[in-house]
Chains A and B, each alone.
Chain A
Amino acid sequence: MRFADERLIPIWGKVQHQQRLTRDDGLLLFETSDVLGLGRMADHVKSGREGDRVYFVLNRYISPTNVCVLSCSFCGFARKKGEAGAFEYTVEDIIGMVSDEVREVHIVGGHHPDWPFEYYERMIAGLHAARPAVQIKAFTAAEIDYFWRRWKVEPREALTRLKAAGLQTMPGGGAEIFSSRLAKQLRYAGKADGDRWCEIHGIAHSLGIRTNATMLYGHVETAAERVDHLLRLRAQQDASGGFLTFIALPYQVGATSLVPRSAPPAENLKTIAAARLLLDNFPHVEAYWVLLGEETASIALHFGADDVNGTLEDERVQHMAGAQTPAGLARAQLLRIIRDAGKIPVERDALYNVLRVWEREGVAA
């Protein structure tokens, strides 16, 4: 393979021989302007693992509350109790949001000042009893850490009890960027730091709970901070092995504006490709289309991503009229994103069990 940036050639040698990349390699991946060279290496890795398969899941995102004791600078979602726009859902509300068509529900919310741990336990148990076929992916490590800070429920106990109630997997949020500099600057120091976040994921893995990992980028972080974050995740995966998917979350300029503009698409593609190359022990790397946009997500399937997530909460899907169910419409849209890239859509569940391979238009193989 030829590279516009010849500094990538030694990295390509390592990638071909499945050798681990170093921190310096990682820095170069973010520094190079050879976007396609980077993408081709990541595509080589992705194709070696998964061939042309690209996964999606019919899922639903639910936030039980946006009331939060924290004030992270990048967050446009959180409200204080009693503030306009604050919401707090009951267990019945939450059950009502989940249809039987959904395979996975993703539950993440604010750090509520008053809700006892038992409420979260009841939420999972109630949802699990009402929708036994739906897999529950719930609570970031930051929330699990908050149960300790607020109610002195140890993570191991919290996760054991939540698992008994029906929790199956944990989402990867709350990681932000593992950096004490940024935690101070962006006021998320009140949240689980990198060590604690990883510790909690390690505990989850030891209990047989598979989890995801994320990185919030495209704000004021440096390339070195991105690389260190990814290497920290890689080290944790070496130690506990339970991560399923890495999801790069591009910071969205909107309600907050830490920078004038969101990361451009080539930067998003580079980040996905770099993650695929550095996280050699992660089974999957996702192109989360809700944040990337459908076009970039589809293109990202050539840059190392093997998953597009899912989600039925998207307005464009929800508001489309017609005889098809929301799940049917969402699926059609996800199939288009995947097929446009010339890939084979594979419908999965939360644990990456294959439910159906969509080889051709409307035909299951």
Chain B
Amino acid sequence: MIEPIREKVLAGKRLDRAEGRWLLTDAPLLAVGAVAAETRYARHPEKVVTFVIDSNPNYTNVCITDCQFCAFYRKPGDPEAYTLTVDEVLAKIEFAASRGATTVLLQGGHNPALPLDYYTTLVRETRRRFPQVTPHFFTASEIRTVAEVSHLTVGEVLDRLHDAGQRTLPGGGAEVLSTRVRRRIEPKKGGPETWLDVHRQAHRRGFKSTATMMYGHVEETEDLLDHLDAIRELQDLFGGFTAFVPWSFKPNNTLLEKWIKHAKGPNMYLRMLAVSRLYLDNFPHIQASWFSEGKRTGQIALHFGADDWGGTLLEENVHKAAAFVNTIGVDEIVTLIREAGFTPAQRTTEYEILKRY
């Protein structure tokens, strides 16, 4: 029954794994959604839904990690492989800034040819030339790659990036934080700890980051619970996560497509969002991904505990490589959030509100 869970959550008590399991599998979807919405209003009483003007360019698609779910990467030497110069990346950031972006989420493949200096220069130059833009650069596995090629520790790389002006880290590359799952779909990327360790060290240094989850491939319920437990536990230490952002795996053009033909649909997505709102009691924000799940599902998700709409994604190439394309402008975001019955508000990377509509 949902009622004991509701009472527990609203009393500020933490849900256990058995409760999480029931919510993810057997609980009636709308009952979970209703309690998630109630919990969302207990935390954020205003009917405000935030969004960010952002862009997701990429600096390289060269990658040595061969993840089975990825349609974006090319091996070094592949005719379609590319690596942008610092100036080329800055031109993309300039484009985003000219469109009003306050966040640029820059990520790329694991390219061993790029030196530490490339990364720190990108951060420093972005801060210098576009002070209104937050460099939300490099996922955990990229940081790890930089550490390896530059013979530094992850902590040292984070220090250098911090010195260059970086304060936030994107949460990609988590997939499902389960040893079993990661061994199956991304054996060269390392277990859950490789991702968690980078975020732990970043949070210790005062960085903020997001936690993501890509579900809907080979994982089972226990793996999802491992993931939620791991990020909740880490969040207890430093409170460095701003938001949780789940999305469903898109199989087109990936190695996994052979086994998994179709993305998980909207009902699992709504359930995932609602359960994360209840289970991740120490996460301030839950993001509805209009981008990966569709605008209609995104609007409905606002009734299932989500309080953030994500961003404009002025540029995006990773989903596009999986033949999945979706675009939006600020006007449309404002309309969609209003239509769903909420007040739209533009936010920064760190969820400070800039403007209410």
Contact = CB atoms under 8 A, between A and B. Distances in A.
B299 A298 contact: no
Interface string A256-287: 00000100111001000000000000000000
Given A296-B300, A299-B300, A340-B264, A266 B37 contact: no
Given A299-B266, A299-B270, A265 B299 contact: yes
Contacts of B304: 36
A266 B304 CA distance: 12
A336 interface: yes
Contact of A340 (B30, B267, B294): B267
Which among A295, A302, A336, A337 has the highest number of chain B CB atoms within 10 Å? A295
A266 B299 contact: yes
A2 B265 contact: no
B128 to A, nearest CB: 42
A140 B194 CA distance: 63
A11 interface: no
A340 B265 contact: yes
Chain A contact surface mostly: helix
B184 interface: no
Q: Which of A35, A43, A302 has the most CB of B within 10 A?
A: A35
A295 to B, nearest CB: 4
Interface in A215-241: none
A36 B33 CA distance: 7
Contacts of A341: 29, 265, 267
Interface string A291-306: 0011110110011000
A265 B300 contact: yes
Nearest to B338: A264
A166 interface: no
B296 A265 contact: yes
Contacts of B38: 2, 4
A33 interface: yes
Contact of A36 (B267, B296, B303, B341): B303
Interface residues of B, number: 30
Contact of B268 (A2, A294, A340): A340
B83 to A, nearest CB: 36
Nearest to B32: A36
A322 to B, nearest CB: 12
Contacts of B336: 264
A32 to B, nearest CB: 11
A160 to B, nearest CB: 44
Given A302-B29, A342-B267, A295 B296 contact: yes
A295 B30 contact: no
Contact of A261 (B267, B296, B335): B335
Q: A36, A296, A337: which has the most chain B beta carbons within 10 Å?
A: A36
Contact of A39 (B30, B265, B340): B30
Given A40-B34, A261-B335, A264-B340, A295 B28 contact: no
Residue of B30, B34, B336 ringed by the most chain A CB atoms within 10 A: B30
B266 A295 contact: yes
B262 A35 contact: no
Interface in B20-71: 28-31, 33-34, 37-38
A37 interface: yes
A336 B267 CA distance: 11
Nearest to B33: A36
B28 A43 contact: yes
Interface string B256-293: 00000010111110100000000000000000000001
Interface of B: 3, 6, 28-31, 33-34, 37-38, 262, 264-268, 270, 293-294, 296-297, 299-300, 303-304, 335-336, 339-341
